[in-house]
């Protein structure tokens, strides 16, 4: 029961394009903000090493994958020198001692160890910057998916802009918080990448399916294959589709909304960015799920698994509304562009 849409005018597509580009300019952090994050990490590591000998910290998530907002949380992974994996590690004990150590740091508040989650973490609030964050242990696959997303972001400026638009859309519609039963921003980013791979002609390749010459030996991390093509400066040599797609970001954004409301069949198909060929929910045995999004490395992980039927339908309604709103020119713009920070 999708409403038919009026024909898009060139004028309107141009406005849509400008809105998308403005969204990116409004929310992307500047160089100083990026440096501040690195500085905080360094400060934490120096501080922690006095209390937890051998502690090593790495930033991941949107601070590093190219899709970070000014106010995005700090996702930090901790490892210990001389210990390659979490095997044999008493994670709970390490998390507790980490929390204890962080409580002594003068610019941290609200230290909260969470040991019941799939990935145990310590949450914190950094008073000097107002940033929230968490430290997890040996979150190795997340480091790899951060690099994968960063590679996609580096291929084409439109990838970055669209992922920002999608994240803003998810925040504005209140459908972007996994801890409250919806989807994580990571899941929405995967949806954007999948759409860009399936677009004809595609905007991005499937990096995990690209091999140069001989098939390289499989690199396993936590039992999963983490190979992807990362030699981006030579991408034009190995990907025939390079720069074939010439659509504007505005066209692509509307195309994405059409794709997920008109074309893509969530009942039958899994959002899967590791291969070009469609993957069925039947093959994955994920048919009872309302919305299936496969993690690119941990193939047993469906990012939509936690959605209730109500929430899945709420999310789909947000997409249907967006298709209607972004698909038809408006006669009257609101009198004032609302203060962008009010969205959050």
Per the CB < 8 A criterion, the answer to whether 284 and 303 are in contact is no
Work out the number of other CB atoms within 10 angstroms of the CB of residue 240: 9
Told to check if 75 binds ligand CTP by CB under 6 A, we report yes
Per the CB < 8 A criterion, the answer to whether 95 and 120 are in contact is yes
Beta partners for residue 57, in sequence order: 78
Task: Write phi, then psi, for 87 (nearest 5 degrees).
Answer: -55, 135
Smallest distance from ligand CTP to CB 186, Å: 4
Taking CB under 5 A as the rule, which mask of x and - marks residues 19-58 in contact with Mg ion? ----------------------------------------
Question: Is 235 exposed, middle or buried, given 0-12, 13-18 or 19+ CB atoms closer than 10 A?
Answer: buried
Residues 6+ apart with CB under 8 A from 314: 175, 182
Told to check if 182 binds ligand CTP by CB under 6 A, we report no
Q: Which of 62, 65, 136, 145 binds Mg ion (CB under 5 A)?
A: 62
Residues 6+ apart with CB under 8 A from 23: 161, 164, 165, 168
Told to check if 60 binds ligand CTP by CB under 6 A, we report yes
Q: Which of 20, 66, 72, 197 binds ligand CTP (CB under 6 A)?
A: 72
Give residue number: closest CB to Mg ion.
61
Told to check if 258 binds ligand CTP by CB under 6 A, we report no
Choices 41-49, 71-79, 245-253, 330-338 (CB under 6 A): range interacting with ligand CTP: 71-79
Smallest distance from Mg ion to CB 120, Å: 17
Per the CB < 8 A criterion, the answer to whether 41 and 138 are in contact is no
Told to check if 61 binds ligand CTP by CB under 6 A, we report yes
Told to check if 185 binds ligand CTP by CB under 6 A, we report yes
The footprint of Mg ion on residues 99-158 (CB under 5 A) is none
68 versus 327: smaller Cβ distance to ligand CTP: 68
Task: Write phi, then psi, for 289 (nearest 5 degrees).
Answer: -85, 150
Per the CB < 8 A criterion, the answer to whether 171 and 265 are in contact is no
Q: Which of 44, 47, 73, 182 binds Mg ion (CB under 5 A)?
A: 73
* 253/199 Cα distance (integer angstroms): 12
Told to check if 62 binds ligand CTP by CB under 6 A, we report yes
Positions that interact with ligand CTP (CB under 6 A) = 60-62, 65, 68-69, 72-73, 75, 142, 145-146, 184-186, 303
Positions that interact with Mg ion (CB under 5 A) = 61-62, 73, 75
């Amino acid at each position: 029961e999708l409403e038919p849409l009026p024909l898009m005018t060139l004028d309107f597509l141009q406005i849509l394009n400008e809105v998308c580009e403005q969204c990116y300019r409004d929310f992307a952090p500047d160089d100083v903000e990026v440096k501040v994050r690195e500085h905080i990490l360094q400060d934490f590591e120096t501080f922690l090493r006095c209390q937890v000998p051998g502690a090593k910290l790495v930033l991941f998530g949107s601070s590093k994958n190219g899709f970070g907002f000014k106010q995005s949380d700090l996702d930090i992974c901790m490892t210990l020198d001389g210990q390659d994996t979490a095997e044999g590690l008493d994670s709970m004990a390490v998390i507790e001692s980490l929390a204890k150590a962080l409580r002594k740091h003068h610019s941290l508040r609200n230290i909260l160890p969470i040991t019941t989650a799939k990935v145990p973490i310590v949450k914190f609030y950094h008073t000097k910057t107002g940033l929230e964050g968490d430290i997890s242990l040996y979150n190795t696959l997340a480091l790899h998916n951060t690099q994968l997303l960063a590679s996609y972001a580096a291929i084409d400026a439109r990838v970055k802009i669209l992922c920002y638009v999608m994240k803003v859309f998810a925040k504005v519609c209140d459908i972007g918080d996994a801890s409250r039963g919806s989807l994580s921003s990571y899941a929405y980013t995967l949806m954007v990448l999948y759409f860009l791979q399936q677009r004809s002609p595609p905007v991005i390749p499937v990096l995990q399916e690209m091999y140069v010459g001989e098939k390289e030996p499989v690199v396993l991390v936590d039992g999963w294959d983490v190979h992807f093509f990362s030699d981006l400066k030579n991408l034009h040599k190995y990907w025939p589709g390079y720069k074939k797609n010439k659509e504007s970001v505005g066209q692509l954004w509307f195309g994405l909304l059409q794709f997920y409301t008109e074309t893509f069949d969530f009942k039958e198909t899994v959002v899967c960015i590791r291969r070009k060929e469609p993957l069925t929910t039947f093959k994955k045995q994920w048919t009872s799920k309302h919305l299936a999004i496969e993690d690119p490395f941990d193939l047993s992980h469906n990012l939509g698994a936690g959605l209730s039927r109500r929430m899945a339908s709420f999310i789909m309604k947000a997409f249907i509304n967006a298709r209607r709103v972004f698909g038809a020119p408006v006669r009257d713009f609101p009198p004032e562009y609302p203060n962008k920070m009010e969205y959050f």
